[in-house]
Structure 1
Amino acid sequence: MQDRPVDFWPRSLPRHLTVPATNLVVNLDVSAARYPDKPAIIFYDTPLTYADLKHEVELAAGYLQAECGVERGDRVLLYMQNSPQFIIAYYAILRANAVVVPVNPMNLTEELRHYVDDTGACTIFAAQDLVKQVAPLVGSGLRHVLVATYSDHLTRPTDLDVPEFVAAPRRAVEGAGLVPWGDMLARGCHPGALVAGPDDLCAMPYTSGTTGLPKGCMHTHRSVMYNAVAGVQWFGAQQDSVALSVLPLFHVTGMQGGMNGPIFIGGTVVLMARWDRDTAAECIRRHRINATQLISTMVIDLLSSPRIDVYDLSSITRLSGGGAAMPDAIAQKMHDLLGIDYVEGYGMSETIAPTHINPPERTKKQCLGIPIQDVDARVIDADTLRTLGIGEVGEIVVHGPQVMLGYWNNPQATADTFVDIGGKRFLRTGDIGKVDEDGYFFMVDRLKRMINASGYKVWPAEVEALMYRHPAIREVCVVASADARRGETVKAVVALKDGFAGRVSEAEIIDWAHQNMAAYKSPRIVEFRDALPKSATGKVQWRALQGS
């Protein structure tokens, strides 16, 4: 592990972190025993106590086992927006000794099909507005669809601006295998013994890459537990912490910082289904929220509000995030307004959130931070694997307790992603960075073709694979295009098949893509070309198209 000056390590933290050697669901059991009547979740002003949260988790877990036949190690899909039901389903899957596979609710049927096929999952938790995407897959893999209505957990009046899809009343559920959430709970099932331990699989978030379809990152209860504990302890959070959780819970940053970490300490999560700056500001004022994770685009949106001078954000003592660097001017504006610094961190699906965080007392702007406890992070020469010195640019590699076991059903991708250095197994991040004289890591570039659109990672290879299903497309290359609001947006350079020129327009391709893939990854720009530039070996030269 690279030496760091002691002055830059958070003074209250040891260098080593001991975490519970248990199933993650035990964290909920402990907090429910300690704080049964305390709100675990506040959802648009409706509280859910720890005792009630645990009760619903037990009933859902019992149903998974008794009625869905879920057994130890089975994968169960979780396909919802942020909601109490997401958290209940997540912990119910673990209580049933199974493995959570979170799915972006923006994904459409064909994208969802890959998750079903790859995991072998027979059961899915889905929100009622997403059932139409799930229904075509029932009978061809999926057998059980447990349908949640978000408004079931809106039991108190509120003047907050509740999104329409959250406030929507319960609709009738019809079709083979579809079971309403209320019927699931009414069945009154209770789960058997908790037998999955720290080295069993816990969660399997999917990530894409430079080639092929998304890959499942295999995380054990031990690796998920590590970052759930590390995140809250890095910031000194405790049982009376109140956190605003608005980052998507299906993504590892929101999952750990906005759900698993607070549940570990017995804190309260004020949950929003979707970002809205005025609602977020009012929740901060109303519930005296002291901590939140926001990506840079959310902070920019919040601080650009014409009502910023009337917001009461005085309770906030920590605002952190990652995914994209925070612009200097916005960071300064935030500091001037709140008197605190934006704390940036760095992590991946493969590391179930952070491997690096800035020390809260000594942050650096547009910086990944320093490696957290028990993490050995280095910058290496990607060809020779030699560890580079201060200021030298190379690939960031990480070794630590939160690193995944590997990719599900993909030994070749696993082998390609890990490298042995001095007898240690390091994850190759694909990110190009450098280390300064104080041990802080900075991002310089990416080896991988990744587009960062409003904090969402878009992998061109996945978008290209979906676009090739269009009957008029002969060749396609997906690249990033600068965008004032999103930072980057998705652009597709397309060569049409013979006979389609003049018959298919750019707008028609854009509309088709929007109908067949999640909105955040759907190309906003399409450019037609007669042919795509290729290397001598026939590979499309995407870098030549990047700035076009």
Structure 2
Amino acid sequence: MQERHAQFWPRGLPRHLTVPDTNLFYNLEVSSVRYPDKPALVFYDSPITYAELKREVKRVAGYLQQECGVKQGDRVLLYMQNSPQFVIAYYAILRANAVVVPVNPMNLTEELRHYVSDTGATTIFVPQDLYPQVAPLMNAGLRHVLVAAYSDYLTTPTDLAVPEFVSAPRRQIEGEGVVLWSAMLARDARPGPLTAGPAELCVMPYTSGTTGLPKGCMHTHRSVMYNALAGMQWFGSQQDSIALSVLPLFHVTGMQGGMNGPIFAGATVVLMARWDRDMAAECIRRHRVNATQLISTMVIDLLSSPRVMEYDLSSIRRLSGGGAAMPEAIARKMQELLGIDYIEGYGMSETIAPTHVNPPERPKKQCLGIPIQDVDARVIDADTFATLGVDEVGEIVVHGPQVMLGYWNNEDATRDAFIEIDGKRFLRTGDIGKVDEDGYFFMTDRLKRMINASGYKVWPAEVEALMYRHPAIREVCVVSGVDARRGETVKAVVVLKDGFHGQVTEQDIVEWSHANMAAYKSPRIVEFREALPKSGTGKVQWRALQDARGE
């Protein structure tokens, strides 16, 4: 276990983290007793206090147990956008001693079918606009569909441009096993005892990986609790923090940093159902938000807004994220505008959010950060498993209290995901990186994304970072292209900034790239697009561009 990063450890933060030995739901119980009248959530200007939140959670938990027959350890699907109902349903599932299975709301019926069959879930929470995707599955395992109208929680008039799918009035949806959220609350059921302990399953996010169907990552209350607490302590967040939560709550980063962590601290969460750069800026100004998580593509979008200078964003003291390295030019613009650094971190569904975060007082750019409390992270030779030295490139492996137990009902995948080093069980991340002389970790790229151009290894993330220096480039994604001579070559898919359309050609970008980076990694092919495809979490879907390369 390397300790080179110890000298840069956040001041006043212990190296060990003692995790509460409780069910995750208990965090809400404690905060509701401490701060009953304090807003836990603000949804497009409509507040919900901690006391109200706990009260509705218990009603929904009671309904799950009494009407849906949910028992301890049962899996319950949660298929929603960011909303009060997502938070309530999440904690209600835990209060019912069951397991949350968060599902990307971009998934359609056939994708949902796998979640139903793989988890054995019979109950699902769904918003009314997505009910048509769920209805066909009532004959494929589902028996209870709990349908919510987001507008039920728009209780305070607002001049914000609320998305139509959020403001849509409640619809009367009927069918066997279908119950409206409002009717569920009206049942006023009460749950039985809280019996699920810290070692039992809590949340099971699914991850696609590089091949096959999505796999469920088994996380206990203890592993989820660890990162909910670690993230708050790393940044010094406390009960008077106000966090903008716009990263999707179904994804582990948003789930922990935008919901579980703030609820543990008793902080206030300002919820947005979907990313909108001007809405985000207005919410920051209006509610004096002091902390938020935005992935790099969101920061790029926010700072590209022609209206960004109109907003008072001075309350923001911490802006963190991950998913992809922050381009140097964007980080510099953010520092000039907000006077703060972008704090990058690293984690995955298998680790229920971070294993690495940059020290807030000494961050490095385009860097994963240093291992957080109790985490042993190494870079190893992927073939021999030998630990590598400073600046040697290999696979990142991690050991720590937030690492999953394994993949649900998939012993082969679980076995392949772990190796033993020095008597410890390490998760193989599949990410290629290196450690510098200070003990900071850097990602070179995904193991499967490397481009082999005439025998030269090209890491797309490095090329993208260089290309962001071009004044006309707003977004870029680098993939492999087909080349009759080289086999593979480097291709860049580019979105231009406003005002550069017709002024810059693809060949201009090719020539600029050739002049600004080594020839073997310089893109030979450039394609302009109006936008890059993105996942529900806002990450660029490089694989979709790779698959469309024309082979």
Q: TM-score range by the shorter chain?
A: 0.7 to 0.9
2:248–2:536 CA contact under 8 A, matched in 1? no
**Rounded Cα–Cα distance in structure 2 between residues aligned with 1:525 and 1:443:** 18
1:380–1:396 contact (8 Å) kept in structure 2: yes
Aligned amino acid, residue 182 of structure 1: S
Aligned to 2:228: 228
Q: C-alpha displacement at 1:374, in angstroms?
A: 0.2
- Equivalent residues in 2 for 1:4-83, closer than 5 Å: 4-83=4-83
CA contact (8 A) 1:107 1:518 kept: no
Equivalent residues of 2:277, 2:301 under 8 A apart:
yes
What is the identity, as a one-letter code, of the residue corresponding to 2:55? H
Give the secondary structure class of the aligned counterpart of 2:310.
Answer: coil
Deviations 1:504-543 (A, max 9, x none): xxxxxxxxxx9xx98989999999xxxxxxxxxxxxxx89
Deviation at 1:305, TM superposition (A): 1.1
Find the counterpart in structure 1 of residue 216 from structure 2: 216
Instruction: Identify which of 476, 493, 509 aligns with 1:483.
Output: 493
C-alpha displacement of 1:4? 2.2
Is residue 263 of structure 2 the alignment partner of residue 263 of structure 1?
A: yes
Tell me the CA shift for residue 6 of structure 1: 3.5
Would the aligned equivalents of 1:344 and 1:366 in 2 still touch at CA under 8 Å?
Answer: yes
1:388-407 matches, within 5 Å, as: 388-407=388-407
How has the CA–CA distance of structure 1 residues 437 and 525 changed in structure 2, closer, same or farther, with 3 Å as cutoff?
closer
Q: What TM-score do the two structures reach when normalised by structure 2? A: 0.84
SS at match of 1:428: strand
Distance across 1 between alignment mates of 2:202 and 2:232 = 20
Q: CA–CA distance in 2 between the matches of 1:16 and 1:346?
A: 19
Letter aligned with residue 327 of structure 1? P
Change (3 A) 1:15 1:484: same
CA distance in 1, matches of 2:423, 2:34: 43
- Whether the 8 Å contact between 1:297 and 1:486 is mirrored in structure 2 is no
**2:382 is matched with which residue?**
382
Check 1:199–1:279 CA distance in 2 against 1; reply closer, same or farther (3 A cut): same
Partner SS for 1:138 = helix
Q: 1:482 to 1:168 in 2, by over 3 A?
A: farther
For each residue in 1:347-404, what CA deviation from the matched residue of structure 2 results, as whole angstroms up to 9, or x when unmatched?
0000000000000000000000000000000000011110000010000000000000
Residue 425 of structure 2 is matched in structure 1 by 425
Residues 344-359 of structure 1: matches in 2 within 5 Å?
Answer: 344-359=344-359
Query: Distance between the aligned counterparts of 1:449 and 1:117, measured in 2?
Result: 30
Q: Contact 1:238–1:267 at 8 Å: present in 2 too?
A: yes
**Amino acid across the alignment from 1:61:** A
CA distance in 1, matches of 2:496, 2:428: 27
Matches within 5 A, 1:41-440: 41-440=41-440
**1:229–1:524 Cα change, 3 Å:** closer
1:146, distance to aligned residue in structure 2 (A): 0.3
TM superposition shift of 1:546? 6.5
Q: 1:24, 1:334 → 2: CA distance?
A: 35
Partner of 2:467: none
Task: Give the conservation status (yes or no) of the 8 Å contact 2:123–2:144.
Answer: yes
User: Compared with structure 1, are the counterparts of its residues 302 and 239 closer, same or farther at alpha carbon in structure 2 (3 Å cutoff)?
Assistant: same
CA–CA separation in structure 2 for the residues paired with 1:486 and 1:409: 45
Give the 3 Å change call, closer, same or farther, for CA 6–313 of structure 1 in structure 2. Answer: same
TM-score, scaled to structure 1? 0.84
Secondary structure of 2:444 counterpart: strand
Q: Secondary structure at the match of 2:448?
A: coil
**Secondary structure, counterpart of 1:356 in structure 2:** strand
- CA shift for structure 1 position 210: 2.2
CA distance in structure 1 between the aligned counterparts of 2:408 and 2:181, rounded to whole angstroms: 29
Amino acid at match of 1:364: K
Q: Residue in 1 aligned with 2:530?
A: none
Following the alignment from structure 1 to structure 2, what is the Cα–Cα distance between the partners of residues 194 and 408? 24
Consecutive unaligned residues of structure 1, counting only runs of 5 or more, are 458-478, 488-513, 528-541
Structure 2: distance between partners of 1:146 and 1:521: 29
Q: Deviations over 1:204-231 (max 9, x none)?
A: 0000122210000000000000000000
Partner Cα distance (2:69, 2:492) in 1: 48
Give the CA RMSD over aligned residues: 2.7
Q: Distance in 1 between matches of 2:434 and 2:239?
A: 37
Aligned pair in 2 of structure 1 residues 12, 92: CA closer, same or farther (>3 Å)?
same
1:143–1:480 Cα change, 3 Å: farther
Contact 1:209/1:449 (8 A) holds in 2: no
Query: Can you list the C-alpha shifts for 1:144-173, whole angstroms capped at 9, x where unaligned?
Result: 000010000001100111000000000011
Alpha carbons 2:23, 2:196 under 8 Å: kept: yes
Contact 2:20 2:225 in 1 (8 A): yes
Query: After superposition, what is the alpha-carbon deviation per residue over 1:232-290, rounded to whole angstroms, capped at 9, x for unaligned?
Result: 00000000000000000000000000000000000000000011111111111111100
The amino acid of 1:242's aligned partner reads I
Counterparts of 1:174 and 1:481, CA distance in 2: 50
Cα separation, 2, equivalents of 1:164 and 1:284: 21
| 1:448 CA displacement | 3.3
Distance across 2 between alignment mates of 1:482 and 1:66: 55
| Aligned pairs, number | 484
Query: Which deviates more from structure 2 when the two are superposed, residues 230-239 or residues 301-310?
Result: 301-310
**Which residue identity is paired with 1:483?**
V
Distance in 2, matches of 1:132 and 1:402, equals 36
Question: Any idea what SS the aligned residue of 1:405 has?
Answer: coil
Paired letter, 1:335: Q
Cα distance in 2 between the residues matched to 1:60 and 1:339 = 43
**Partner amino acid for 2:433?**
G
1:334 and 1:107 map into 2 onto residues whose CA distance is 33
CA distance 1:423–1:519, shift in 2 (3 Å): closer
Question: Are 1:100 and 1:204, in contact at CA under 8 Å, matched by a contact in 2?
Answer: yes
Q: Offset at 1:11?
A: 1.1
